[in-house]
Amino acid sequence: MHAGQLVFAQVMEFAPWHTFRRLVAKYRGDFNVRRFSCLDQFLCMAFAQVTYRESLRDIEACLRAQPTKVYHLGIRGKVSRSALADANESRDWRIYAEFAQALIRLARPLYAHEPLAVELANTVYALDTTTIDRCLSLFPWAPFRATKAAIKLHTLLDLRGAIPTFLHITDGPVHDVNVLDLLLPEPGAFYVMDRGYLDFARLYALQQAGSFFIIRAKSNFKCRRLYSAPVERRTGIICDQLIELVVFYSQRGYPERLRRIRYRDAEGKHFVFLTNHLSRPALTVCELYRQRWQIELFFKWIKQHLRITRFFGTSANAVKSQIWIAVAVYVLVAIIRKRLNLSLSLHAMLQILSVTPFENVPLIQLLTEMVADDMYAPDPNQMNLF
């Protein structure tokens, strides 16, 4: 019988707790705290993410149902709904934001060699935003419409391994394109964006930093054609052109030339892409944009499998803390998957961990994928009934 740590404690062992303690000291998270520390708060909230708890009362009831095992999860303070609520309201959310970024820095090298749909050595990022609608009376700090509040998650996703490398949380009125001002462009990397990010002055900043972008053009886009490269229309490429902008403010924002590609997919839909990369084949550019769909799947996945649409608090600090802890749990499970060399998907891992946090089983044994053929292989000594 395994006499080691509980499954949840084994999962948490993969986190860099020295970094967490340094961040708690940096933001004085445990100043004047007697019983319920920032570590206790993080572990309780991470437990809620892993086990799909829906409220603070759910967390309290679930943990108090196993009073002899809570200590072995790593939680030293007394778990109560009021203690969790106070911690979410008062502990600085930047502790958990920077801790999640530390986990991301650990995860990215593990997924650096994940294959892409195209032969490309460059890093490829997808930039997009998802909106979480809320009630305005409960979230007055995030107004969006007359009777609605909204929280926006601006995310930059590394398409190798679907690891979020940048995440910015704002209220509803903040336009998506403003996030481009916060990015630190990586030279040689591709940034794939939808047309909501079409701002030529900001795109020119990416160009000057040595980065490449692929973005859809708007329907009223105007330009002057300078050169048309030969294309094979049977591949879906209608035209591949070198252009310059003609509208005054657009030209002032982006004074250099651009590449314009028109593409028709198998369903007959037309797409117009703009990019500052002039040498890659047109089909490669179109395929890179098609890979942007991974960020839509990422948003769908985290909304379905993590607790970021039902919040445990209504203040800005509580919401940001919960979202960043959810991101930290997602990245931590991704790290475990690579370090243990597992073939299970992240979804399957979370499903297994959700029902076994109090089990006393080695983590590698729990998460090793069983081969169905071996489990249900017929006994050669048993006769067939039919």
* Whether pLDDT at 385 is above 50: no
Distances (CA, A) of 266 to 214, 231, 263, 269: 21, 17, 10, 8
235, 257 Cβ separation under 8 angstroms: no
Q: For 154-193, what is each residue's pLDDT tens digit?
A: 999 999 888 899 999 998 888 999 999 999 999 999 999 9
pLDDT of 4 reads 78
In a domain, 28, yes or no: yes
Question: Do residue 332 and residue 246 come from a single domain?
Answer: no
* Residues with Cβ within 8 Å of residue 182, at least 6 apart in sequence: 166, 168
Q: For 87-136, what is each residue's pLDDT tens digit?
A: 999 999 999 999 999 999 999 999 988 888 788 888 999 999 999 988 88
* Whether pLDDT at 66 is above 50: yes
How does residue 383 score in pLDDT terms, banded at 50, 70 and 90? very low
- Comparing C-alpha atoms, which of 213, 105, 110 is closest to residue 160? 110
* Whether pLDDT at 371 is above 80: no
Give the CA angle between residues 79, 85, 91 to the nearest 5°: 100
In a domain, 295, yes or no: no
pTM here is 0.88
- Report, as an integer, the average pLDDT of 140-159: 89
Cα separation of 349 and 352, whole Å?
Answer: 5
In a domain, 131, yes or no: no
For the chain, the domain total comes to 2
In a domain, 231, yes or no: yes
pLDDT of 216 reads 94
Indicate the average pLDDT of the chain.
Answer: 89
In a domain, 234, yes or no: yes
CATH code, 281: 3.30.1370
Beta strands of the chain (E only): which ranges? 124-135, 148-158, 163-171, 190-193, 212-216, 223-229, 237-245, 258-264, 270-275
367, 344 Cβ separation under 8 angstroms: yes
In a domain, 253, yes or no: yes
Question: Do residue 202 and residue 284 come from a single domain?
Answer: yes
Question: Do residue 274 and residue 326 come from a single domain?
Answer: no
- Report, as an integer, the average pLDDT of 204-233: 93
- Comparing C-alpha atoms, which of 239, 238, 252 is closest to residue 200? 252
Question: Do residue 353 and residue 280 come from a single domain?
Answer: no
Q: For 336-353, what is each residue's pLDDT tens digit?
A: 999 999 888 888 899 999
pLDDT of 372 reads 37
In a domain, 188, yes or no: no
Question: Do residue 277 and residue 337 come from a single domain?
Answer: no
Distances (CA, A) of 137 to 93, 143, 148, 150, 249: 22, 9, 8, 12, 40
- For residue 243, what are the domain limits? 195-290
Question: Do residue 266 and residue 325 come from a single domain?
Answer: no
In a domain, 42, yes or no: yes
